[in-house]
Amino acid sequence: MPERIDQLLASGQTTSFEFFPPKSEAERTTLERTIALLEPLKPSFVSVTYRGGRESRQRTYDLVTAMAAKGIFTPMAHLICVAHSKAELVEILESYQTAGVVNLMALGGDPPTHAGAGTGELTYADELVELARSVGDFSIGVAAHPGGHPRSTSMANDRARLAHKLELADFAVTQLLFEADAWSSLVDELEELGTTKPVLPGIMPVTSLSSIPRMEAMGSAVPSWMVEKLHHAHEIGGDEGVRATGIDLATELCEVLLARGVPGLHFYTLNLSTATREITERLGRSTGKR
């Protein structure tokens, strides 16, 4: 039987990695190398992103089902509901069921930009969770934004919607997280709303100054104190100084989060292995398959 993420989380702290499907042979080679280097760390599960459109959908499906078939990792497929009809979504969900993929990340998704994309019949992730439940017995995760979703009208509205999503789903994974207090506050606020489902912090070290504005554009602004420290590191040690400091800060963050009892750590790898490997090895994280 395929391993389910809800059951893995019930067994103890997890370690997980996120990949995106390659668009070219060069990207495929990079990803294959990354997978080979990260496989010895024995992550509890890995997730594969999906941006929308038939071509992207197929790339995600191919990567996830190949992982499931080979038994390299326990995979989780991302699926967005925008620009899809209900019939298309049911088709995708049934195809994952047939391939033995039982773990799903249900997302609303950004408005489509590719040519020919429709608006779709579903708008929000909770609708996709409900549809997936009607199709099969999936273990389902949803996204959480510690600073609030960019389209939320207020923090109270954001937390209420997230609590509702989590009542329907099994767990959540946050967007990029840079401070442990952001995770603690999010969990406390959800508990006040009666929701205690696992919330995994999303970790990605800041290894270059150029990544700072990109992270802000993604809705995950790097805190000012960290930006200052990274610029200081650049003044002293250049690009390598920034990288070393970013790895140190991410490792320290993970140590604090683990001490606070997070259900697991989810690393955004950008299909590269070095930073993730360094951090997890420093932490001694090799969870193995349960």
Active site residues: 18
- Which region, left, alpha or beta, applies to residue 152 given φ > 0 means left and ψ of -120 to 50 means alpha? beta
CA-wise closest residue to 267 among 245, 287, 238: 287
Give the Cα separation of 92 and 79 in Å (integer).
9
The Cα-based distances of 177 to 119, 182, 266 in angstroms read 30, 7, 10
> Where does the chain have alpha helices with state H?
5-11, 25-38, 54-70, 86-98, 125-135, 155-168, 180-192, 211-217, 224-259, 274-283
Cβ-in-10-Å burial (0-12, 13-18, 19+) of 82 comes to buried
Query: How many beta carbons lie within 10 A of that of residue 117, not counting itself?
Result: 15
95 three-class SS: helix
DSSP secondary structure string for all residues of 41-62: G--SEEEE---SSHHHHHHHHH
CA-wise closest residue to 203 among 141, 280, 121, 119: 280
